[in-house]
Chain A
Amino acid sequence: KAGVTQTPRYLIKTRGQQVTLSCSPISGHRSVSWYQQTPGQGLQFLFEYFSETQRNKGNFPGRFSGRQFSNSRSEMNVSTLELGDSALYLCASSLPRWDFDNEQFFGPGTRLTVL
């Protein structure tokens, strides 16, 4: 079974631009979560999508948004980029079940550099 894939793997943008990152979950997984990792803040939860609906959201400004398509693929968008948005963006997919917690499978990440 193919793992979680993320595209692109590396991205360089300038301040003020916007960016869209893509995540394809493991086949059959319907939940996709997004995380930001920076040297200063570590790993932080951005949001989670399940069945095309945002189910959970972290403490990030509205410039960070996402969506999920009917095939469970997910995209996240960051508008009006700031230098502090430079980070590794990771997505993780899981099989959501309601009776116990779910192991998350991480993609390789997209490294975004904002100049």
Chain B
Amino acid sequence: KNEVEQSPQNLTAQEGEFITINCSYSVGISALHWLQQHPGGGIVSLFMLSSGKKKHGRLIATINIQEKHSSLHITASHPRDSAVYICAVSEETSGSRLTFGEGTQLTVNP
């Protein structure tokens, strides 16, 4: 079993829909990261959080430390949101080393 599990693996939505991607982890962490990867490979850090909730434009990330679970929400989705979304954790004992989930391929159709 992977230390970081994401669901779903693939997600197709219509423009304007509300989207949720989930991430569960099994290790003690110092922080959880949500990353976005577009075709071609470049990775962008969307959020880094260790508690509560963060919002950036149409993106919202939440984390429940007790349940070891995080969600990434996209409101009013747009075709330009199509990308792979990756959950990663910094383990308590590993400093800045990241352990990654397998990613969620999101496709938003116009």
A31 contacts B42, C-beta separation under 8 Å: no
- Quick check: is A27 within 8 A (CB to CB) of the other chain? no
Structural contact, B45 and A33, CB atoms closer than 8 A: no
B31 CB-CB contact with A under 8 Å? yes
* Total A-B residue contacts, Cβ distance less than 8 Å: 64
A106:B33 contact, CB within 8 angstroms? no
Closest-CB distance, A7 to chain B (whole angstroms): 14
State A35–B103 Cα separation when bound (angstroms).
Answer: 15
Q: How far is the CA of A44 from the CA of B103 in the complex (A)?
A: 13
CB distance from B72 to the nearest CB of A (A): 16
Query: What count of chain A residues pass the 8 Å CB interface test?
Result: 27
Please determine whether A101 and B97 come into contact, CB atoms closer than 8 angstroms: no
Please, how many residues of chain B have a CB less than 8 angstroms from a CB on the other chain?
25
Give residues 32-51 of B contacting A (CB, 8 Å): 33, 35, 40-45, 48, 50
CB distance from A112 to the nearest CB of B (A): 12
CB of B62 within 8 Å of the partner chain: no
B98 touches A35 (CB 8 A): yes
A101 contacts B45, C-beta separation under 8 Å: no
Given the interface contacts A42-B102, A42-B103, A43-B86, does A102 sit within 8 Å of B96 by beta carbon? yes
Pairwise interchain contact B102-A33, C-beta atoms closer than 8 A: no
Q: In the bound complex, how far is the Cα of B44 from the Cα of A51, in angstroms?
A: 24
Closest to A111 in B: B41
A37 to B103, CA, bound (A): 12
- A residues near B (Cβ < 8 Å) are 31, 33, 35, 37, 42-45, 48, 55-56, 58, 88, 90, 92, 94, 96, 100-106, 108-109, 111
